[in-house]
Amino acid sequence: MTGMKLLNYARQVKDMSSHKTDLKDCVWLVVLLRAGFVRSSYVPTGTIKDLRDTTRMRSRLMERCCFTTSTVWTSWSVARSDLLDRN
């Protein structure tokens, strides 16, 4: 197990009792890992990561588009009501 890197769920490990020093924490995590109490995280491949990034970007762009459209319609509605009130 020397030099092994493991990516795990921090929330899961945080909920388990901990010790006061980094060395004791490290030993405690090894004990939990060997006992099977710590499960590793899923690390997506490059293709899936790119797809997720593209999906997030699309979602942000759609939110921005909806916000802009709503702002324009609100401004138009206020301007229209002001014009109707003047007549």
Residues 27 and 58 in one domain: no
3-state secondary structure of 40: strand
Q: How far is residue 36's CA from residue 14's CA, in Å, rounded to a whole number?
A: 16
DSSP 8: B
Inform me whether the pLDDT recorded for 9 exceeds 70.
no
Structural domain including 87 reads: 45-87
Per-residue pLDDT reduced to its tens digit, 45-79: 889 999 999 999 999 999 999 999 999 999 998 88
Residues 34 and 65 in one domain: no
Residues 24 and 53 in one domain: no
Element (H, E) at 55: helix 46-86
Question: What domain count does the chain have?
Answer: 2
Residues 67 and 37 in one domain: no
Residues 3 and 28 in one domain: yes
Residues 73 and 37 in one domain: no
Q: Which amino acid is at 81?
A: S
The whole-model pTM stands at 0.48
